[in-house]
Amino acid sequence: NPPKQMLHRGIQTRKVLKNEVIALKSFNTRSKDNHHVTKYYQIGPMSAEEQNMIDLFMDIISESTFNELRTKRQLGYMASSSIKNTHGIVGWTIDVKSAVKNHKMSHVLSCIDEYTDKYIPEFLKNLSDEEFDTFRESSISGKSAKDNALKEEVERNFGEIECEDFMFDRLQKEVKWLEELEKPVFMKFINKTLKKAKVLYVQVEGNEEG
Per-residue pLDDT of the chain (210 residues; tens, 9 = 90+): 444 444 445 667 888 888 899 988 877 666 568 899 999 999 988 888 898 999 999 999 999 999 999 999 999 888 999 998 888 889 999 999 998 888 999 999 999 999 999 999 999 999 999 999 999 999 888 787 776 777 776 776 767 566 666 767 777 888 888 999 999 999 999 999 999 999 999 999 888 766
pLDDT in the model for residue 28: 64
Rounded Cα–Cα distance for residues 166 and 157 (Å): 8
pLDDT in the model for residue 154: 72
Rounded Cα–Cα distance for residues 120 and 61 (Å): 8
- State which amino acid sits at residue 5: Q
The alpha carbon of residue 139 and the mean position of all alpha carbons in its chain are separated, in whole angstroms, by: 16
180: which residues sit within 8 A by CB, 6+ positions away? none
Q: Is the pTM of this model over 0.85?
A: no
Tell me the three state secondary structure of residue 75: coil
- State which amino acid sits at residue 149: A
Rounded Cα–Cα distance for residues 130 and 86 (Å): 33
> How many alpha carbons lie under 13 Å from residue 12 in its C-beta half-sphere?
3
- State which amino acid sits at residue 193: T
Q: Strands 20-25, 198-205: parallel, antiparallel or unpaired by DSSP?
A: parallel
